[in-house]
Amino acid sequence: MTDRQNEVLAVLGELADAWNAGDAAAYASHFTEDADYVTFFGMNMPGRATIESAHRALFEGPLRGSKLVSGGGEPKVRFVRPDVAIVVSGGGSSLSGGEPGPGRESTLTYVLVEESGGWRVASFQNTRVSDPAAGVPMGGERRTLG
């Protein structure tokens, strides 16, 4: 890994640390003001304030005590411009603090931009790993939260 790739991955490590601490403000601070956060079920949470508010509710409710777990090998970091990086990685969340439970493994896509204060996530998408042969719901309308 290059120094630049390590800088980008350090931000993702800080995101995981904030999640694991249940700190919605610290988690959201790593996103741009106008970031888009697409959840595993396809809902978009636009903007840092919405990301923080939604994660506060999750950390105080159904995801209290959950931990982010990396997976799927080394993250792929690609610079499309010197100040824009795309990262594709595996991971998931664990409600028990161990390995992700069945159905909680994801492929994660981040677009990070370099700003005066360092790297920030401008776009994030969480896609659950599934077996299409097992029958995955398809269709539905695109929805936005916020």
In the prediction, which pLDDT does 91 show? 83
In the prediction, which pLDDT does 19 show? 94
In the prediction, which pLDDT does 1 show? 82
Q: What pTM was computed for the model? A: 0.86
Among residues 55, 41, 34, 24, the alpha carbon closest in space to that of 120 is found at 34
Q: Give CA 37 to chain center in angstroms.
A: 7
Q: What is the pLDDT of residues 5-59, one digit of tens each?
A: 999 999 999 999 999 999 999 999 999 999 999 998 889 999 999 999 999 999 9
Is 53:31 a contact under the CB 8 Å cutoff? no
CA distance 46 to 18: 19
Q: What is the pLDDT of residues 103-139, one digit of tens each?
A: 778 889 999 999 998 999 999 999 888 767 666 544 4
In the prediction, which pLDDT does 139 show? 45
In the prediction, which pLDDT does 138 show? 45
In the prediction, which pLDDT does 144 show? 47
C-alpha count within 13 angstroms, C-beta hemisphere, residue 1: 14
Spell out the residues 6+ positions from residue 86 whose beta carbon is closer than 8 angstroms to its own.
Answer: 77, 78, 79, 80, 109, 110, 111, 112
Q: Which residues pair with 105 in a beta bridge?
A: 92
In the prediction, which pLDDT does 68 show? 86
In the prediction, which pLDDT does 60 show? 96
CATH 3.90.1310.10 holds for 3-128: no
Residue burial 77-99, b: 16+ Cβ < 10 Å; e: rest? beeeeeeebebebbbbbbeeeee
List the domain boundaries for the chain: 3-128
In the prediction, which pLDDT does 100 show? 63
In the prediction, which pLDDT does 101 show? 64
Q: What is the pLDDT of residues 69-103, one digit of tens each?
A: 777 678 999 999 999 999 999 887 877 766 666 67
